[in-house]
Amino acid sequence: MKTLSLFLLLISSNIFAQQAEERILYVVDSIPIIDEPEEGFGSLSQEAIHEVQVVTTKTKIEQHGFSDVDKLIFITTKEFFNRPPELREIPTVNAMQRKDDGKWYLKKSVQPYTGPFIDYFLDGKKQGEGNIKNGLVNGLRTVYYPNGKKSFYRTYDNSGIADGEAASFFSNGQIKNKGVFKNEKEDGIWQEWYSTGKLKRETAFKNGKALPTKEEEAFHSLLSKAGRLYKEENIMGAIKQLNKAIEMNPYYSDAFFERGTMKLNDFKFDEAIADFDKALEIEPLYMKAFTNRAFTRLRKYQLKNSRTLSKSNGVTVLASKDKVDIPAEELAKICNDLNKGYELGDRKEMVLQAIKDYCK
């Protein structure tokens, strides 16, 4: 399926910069795409489009309320075309503006909006929904993944402050964490799970401050110390702290991920892969573990025939080829991890470039 990121579509047409030839504005499901779409608002595939209309006549462009563009491209998605009229009448916040008072207003309205709202992904599928009262989010606010499953929900009081039950979910539908906000701060017992359904941790909060047990405090102290040592470039010392943490809790995915990342940067590629394997065994939807494991295998082959430029104070600087030949079996593992990381939301430039270089 040929998929075009609307971001790339807009960039390719230079929508964000005036061209000498023409200035183009896209309008998707009646919403002008004025600014660069935010991360997470999906992509727009040709299969998702019902109709495209192009307007180039100056008078007709002005009739639509635009005077500083040369071309309007109206895109109607299939989801919007098939949407019942009563749902089309419910506004999206993209059709509103948030004024200096922090409240939402329908455009050209002088009164804060009150009523339901529904937000949509670029392909027209529902992205979120809730209610606004006197310009502020009120009651239950729910956000969805592109696959239609819940991403998170949160409860707000009359002043637009998080107050009440909240929860977030993995893309497979499994609950990720759950707890209660009191006056916008965590309160009471918060629980966190892995995507397998296994409980990851349970933490008590009061007025937004965690109240860990002595055992939890000792464990997270080791993780924090490892982080500080790593920033000070004391990789071996940091790894020793993580070793102790893993001995204390051998079922905490983040500890294996952090140790794997440190071993990657210390050129201990096989050990790093083993740690990422363990992190993914505990948390099968660990986005960063997928991409880091892919880059560990890449670096292993990039540096296989490298030459040493310098070595001092325990730091080795190597020169390597940017593009290398990789055995087909290993390349399949690398691309599988890169694509899985991308699927889970990793859109870093280095990930996109690696997919382009090795997986096309």
Provide the residue-wise pLDDT of the chain in tens; the chain has 360 residues: 334 444 334 434 433 444 446 789 999 999 998 766 565 556 788 999 999 999 999 999 999 888 889 999 999 999 999 999 999 999 999 999 999 999 999 988 999 999 999 999 999 999 999 999 999 999 999 999 999 999 999 999 999 999 999 999 999 999 999 999 999 999 999 999 999 999 999 999 999 999 999 999 999 999 999 999 999 999 999 999 999 999 999 999 999 999 999 999 999 999 999 999 999 999 999 999 999 999 999 999 988 765 444 444 444 444 445 677 899 999 999 999 999 999 999 999 999 999 999 998
Angle at 350 between CA 268 and CA 332, to 5 degrees: 65
CB 338 within 8 A of CB 349: no
Cα distance between residue 15 and residue 34, in whole Å: 8
- Are 342 and 329 within 8 A, CB to CB? no
Are 154 and 181 within 8 A, CB to CB?
A: yes
Q: What residues are paired with 187 via a beta bridge?
A: 180
DSSP state of 36: P
Assigned superfamily of 251-358: Tetratricopeptide repeat domain (1.25.40.10)
Task: Read off the pTM.
Answer: 0.82
pLDDT of residue 324: 77
What pLDDT score was predicted for residue 13?
Answer: 40
Residue 20: what pLDDT?
44
pLDDT for 322: 60
* Contact between residue 124 and residue 77 where contact means Cβ atoms under 8 Å apart: yes
Q: Are 158 and 139 in contact (CB under 8 A)?
A: no
Give span(s): CATH 2.20.110, the chain.
85-184
Say if residues 169 and 151 touch (Cβ distance below 8 Å).
yes
If one looks up domain 85-184 in CATH, what number appears? 2.20.110
Q: What totals of helices (H) and strands (E) does the chain contain, helices first?
A: 11, 19
Q: Where in the chain is the domain with CATH 1.25.40.10?
A: 251-358
Determine the 3-state secondary structure of 40 from DSSP.
coil
Q: What is the pLDDT of residue 5?
A: 44
Cα–Cα distance, 154 to 166 (Å, whole number)? 4
What separation, in Å, do the N-terminal and C-terminal C-alpha atoms of the chain show? 14
* pLDDT of the residue at 7: 39
Burial (CB < 10 A; 0-12, 13-18, 19+), residue 148, is exposed
